[in-house]
Chains A and B, each alone.
Chain A
Amino acid sequence: MKIKPQMKQKIAFILLGLAAILVIVPVVLILAILIKRGLPAINWQFLTEMPRMGMRAGGIFPAIMGTFCLVIGAIGVALPLGVLTAIYLVEYAKKNWWTRMIEIAIVNLAGVPSVVYGLFGLGLFVIFFQFGSSILAGSLTLAIMELPVIITSSKEALMSVPRSFREASLALGVSKWQTIRYVVLPNALPGILTGSILGISRTAGETAPILFTVAAFYLPRLPKSILDQCMALPYHLYVLSTQVPNVKPALQYGTALVLVGMVFLLNIVAIIVRAHIRSKKQW
């Protein structure tokens, strides 16, 4: 029996649609499970208190603050570095093998395994620069890791600013840097912002790069300087779920929910900002 092409198409499209839905299912499931089991654990004490009794009770405040410090430190380094690199690639670089090398380097930075970043941070920042296991070393490691994300999104944002904007400014006798500073950058800013938010959300959840560069197993106080160790949410979740026996599941799910909640919130903000830019764009 020969099936009609139209029938075949119908079957194929239904299968493809099912596959697409299947891809989304884990997101919904994970979120549902975390909310169902984690939400009861979350209250004001959980968010603002130190952990007690070897992390089997109390809150996760130092882990939240630790992640906050690491994320701010990382974006503080990666954002200027990344945006300037993107400016170079879009506005200054000529199309030659040297530029191609830089592009390949960026692609490779994006592909380096997270645990290898951890080894690199240990070798360069912790040991060679003698920062020790510290917020400084961890932030710098995370910064290099999120650099490709920032560069790629900034590049896209810069390239989407129409040529005519630049030409109009240059024609008025404005210098190249001033054109970039006062015409191109302001127009690319929302796009750069979106990329930065995504970069932040990615670093917030990373565990492997901070394993050997900053993360403290159990440190029920806040860090005092950037040369201190600190706890961090993802590492705390790892410790709670594999290293400490007899932890109440609610505590684990609560920690996971706080982490995922933070990351999702950042992503949703980025998605909304981007949709907003697209709808507002007049060129």
Chain B
Amino acid sequence: MRKIREFFIEKIILLNGFACILFVILIFYFLAKDGLALFKFITIQDFLFGTLWNPLAEPPQFGILPLFLGSLVVTLGATIIAVPLGMACAIFIGEIAPRWMREVLKAGVELLAAIPSIVIGFIGMTMLSPIVKNLFHLPTGLTALTGSLALAFMAIPTMVSIMEDSISAVPRSYKEGSLALGATHWQTIYRVIIPAASSGIIAAIMLGIGRVIGETMAVMMLTGNASVLPKTILAPVRTMTATVAAEMGETVRGSEHYFALFAIGLVLFGITFLINFVADMARHRKKK
């Protein structure tokens, strides 16, 4: 009796192990099912390289190039801000800060990660965007830069925690060897520890970028949502994620517009899948 019960429990656990693979496949399937239906109406080239996104025009235009570039500009901006800050923070936490300060900083970074994206968007709208507007004398404070600033701080916690992990995973003997040769602590950090932790640091940056590309609510509230080809970082842009979130409510199920939004979802899924896959490979290599 007990044997039989045990047998079933083990099978249930086994099945559970596969659930995650099933979910990834299901997500892909349901995005592809509706997303690919778009190409009965327009060609893939028109979708990927069309420079006009205007679902209400006659005939409707579904070119995602401006949305893709919008995502790209915001992501690049956020990455440029987040990488140096995140790296500095991780090094400080992992190598320099005394114990009590480390705990405080780590808790702070965790709380930063915990702030919901909608709250960042709200505070960004009311506090950050007027500052950007006045600083650069712009007609509106809702720009790609505003989005980048907010997103940088949303990516930093992801980056810091993984970077810090890989910095503290560097064997002690490397550090001691360098110090024994007369190098200062700082020289040891940037000549020995950072190179030794590099694959983890690269993985951290990629996962941070993945988080930024997929971010939706804050970006929708902060970037001004103008679906035009972005010319400067001080102009309003519209990202892929914001387009899906903002327009899904107004579409008719089974319309071209509806399919087009699923197709954007499919593109997003593909991009983040690729980034996460590569980042995971980089992290895994480190362990060997």
Whether both chains belong to one complex is answered with yes
Residues of chain A at the chain B interface (Cβ within 8 Å): 5-6, 8-9, 12-13, 15-17, 19-20, 22-24, 26-27, 30, 33-34, 81, 84-85, 87-89, 92-93, 101-120, 122-124, 127-128, 144, 147-148, 151, 175-178, 201-202, 204-208, 211-212, 234-235, 237-238, 241-242, 249, 252, 256, 259-260, 263-264, 267, 271
Contact A116 B215 (CB under 8 A): no
CA A111 to CA B162, docked complex, whole Å: 14
* B275 cross-chain contacts in A, Cβ below 8 A: 111
**Which of B9, B213, B265 is close to A119, meaning CB atoms less than 8 Å apart?**
B265
> Contact between A116 and B265 (Cβ–Cβ < 8 Å)?
yes
Which B residues touch A208, using CB under 8 A? 117, 216-217, 241, 245
User: With A and B bound together, what is the CA distance between A181 and B135 in angstroms?
Assistant: 60
A127-B253, A211-B248 known; A81+B116 contact, CB < 8 A? no
- The main secondary structure of chain B at its interface with chain A is helix
Give the distance to chain B from A149, nearest Cβ to Cβ, in Å.
11
A128 and chain B: residue at smallest CB distance = B30
B200 to chain A, nearest CB (A): 14
Query: Which of the 9-residue segments B49-57, B169-177, B183-191 touches chain A?
Result: B183-191
- Please indicate the chain B residues that have their CB under 8 angstroms from the CB of A112 in the complex: 27, 214, 269, 272-273
- CB-defined contacts of B252 to chain A, threshold 8 Å: none
Which residues of the partner chain A approach B27 to less than 8 Å between Cβ atoms? 112, 116-117, 120
Name the B residues within 8 Å of A102 (CB-CB): 17-18, 20-21
- Is the pair B20, A5 in contact by a Cβ cutoff of 8 Å? no
Number of interface residues of B (CB under 8 A): 85
CA distance A202 to B21 in the complex (A): 22
A74 CB to nearest chain B CB (Å): 14
Contacts of A27 in B (CB 8 A): 108, 111-112, 115
B156 touches which of A13, A23, A34 (Cβ 8 Å): A23
A92 near B26: Cβ-Cβ < 8 Å:
no
Top-8 shortest CB links A-B: A205-B116, A113-B214, A19-B88, A123-B30, A88-B17, A9-B186, A111-B276, A24-B108
Contact B92 A263 (CB under 8 A): no
Chain B residues within an 8 Å CB radius of A26: 112, 153
Given contacts A104-B280, A111-B272, A111-B273, contact A20 B93 (CB under 8 A): yes
Most A CB atoms within 10 A — which of B115, B120, B211?
Answer: B115
Interface residues of B in 188-220 (CB under 8 A from A): 207, 210-211, 213-217
Contact pick for A109, options B24, B114, B214, CB 8 Å: B24
Out of B12, B30, B105, B115, name the residue touching A263 (CB < 8 Å).
B115
Q: With A and B bound together, what is the CA distance between A180 and B251 in angstroms? A: 50
CA distance A110 to B283 in the complex (A): 15
- List 24 interface pairs A-B (beta carbons < 8 Å), by A numbering: A5-B187, A13-B92, A15-B88, A16-B91, A30-B120, A34-B123, A102-B21, A105-B24, A111-B272, A111-B275, A112-B272, A113-B215, A114-B117, A115-B214, A115-B216, A119-B265, A177-B9, A202-B114, A205-B115, A237-B122, A241-B122, A241-B125, A256-B122, A260-B115
